[in-house]
């Protein structure tokens, strides 16, 4: 399957709002292949030469529904900084990820969120949990894992998992107050 900016479904397509179904484990060959393609898209999208050559928009994550397949599969690749200030690269190819706990403390991206399936600007804060715990099968590690995510990684995982319920980031923006003051929130 060719995944690029033309084949990623956009928010004007009702399919993007469809609920995604869990996949059987162990992954069948078709689901494993799709997950590897999603992962490769994210990796290649941050390589300027490949992005231009293959018409890729830069991404840190992509879910299967964004290529028209309503399955709970997502790939995330993030260059980040850990709690000690060290560079770290988070890489996941997740099947059936689910949030099992989340913090009361909130966080949001100061510049707002974006999405491969959303081409129009949607300004405003998308307020999410600052820390989450996710359980999933990770194809990279070949096993069920628990991810304790905070900050940017937590926001990206929540964004991707939202796709499974047909929710887009701008659904979280309050149209009457798009830039609210959020007490005790972490601004990223």
Is residue 119 part of the annotated active site? The answer reads no
Question: Within a 10 A sphere around the Cβ of 100, how many other Cβ atoms?
Answer: 12
Alpha helices in the chain (DSSP H): 29-45, 48-54, 151-163
- Cβ contact 153:78 at 8 Å: yes
Question: Within a 10 A sphere around the Cβ of 84, how many other Cβ atoms?
Answer: 6
- Cβ contact 141:154 at 8 Å: no
185 burial level (CB within 10 Å; 0-12, 13-18, 19+): middle
Q: Which of 49, 143, 160, 187 is catalytic?
A: 160
- Cβ contact 37:3 at 8 Å: yes
- Catalytic center residues: 160
């Amino acid at each position: 399957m060719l995944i690029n900016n033309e084949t990623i479904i956009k928010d004007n397509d009702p399919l993007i709002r469809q609920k995604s179904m869990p996949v059987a484990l162990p992954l069948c060959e078709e689901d494993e292949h799709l997950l590897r393609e999603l992962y490769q898209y994210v990796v290649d999208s941050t390589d300027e030469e490949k992005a231009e050559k293959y018409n890729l928009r830069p991404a840190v994550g992509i879910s299967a529904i964004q290529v028209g397949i309503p399955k709970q599969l997502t790939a995330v690749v993030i260059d980040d900084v850990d709690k000690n200030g060290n560079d770290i690269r988070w890489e996941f190819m997740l099947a059936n990820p689910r949030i099992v706990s989340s913090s009361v403390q909130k966080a949001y991206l100061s510049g707002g969120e974006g999405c491969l399936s959303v081409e129009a600007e949607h300004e405003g804060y998308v307020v999410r949990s600052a820390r989450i715990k996710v359980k999933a099968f990770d194809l990279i590690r070949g096993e069920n894992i628990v991810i304790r995510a905070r900050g940017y990684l937590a926001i990206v995982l929540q964004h991707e998992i939202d796709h499974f319920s047909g929710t887009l980031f701008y659904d979280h923006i309050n149209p009457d107050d798009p830039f609210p003051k959020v007490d005790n929130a972490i601004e990223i």
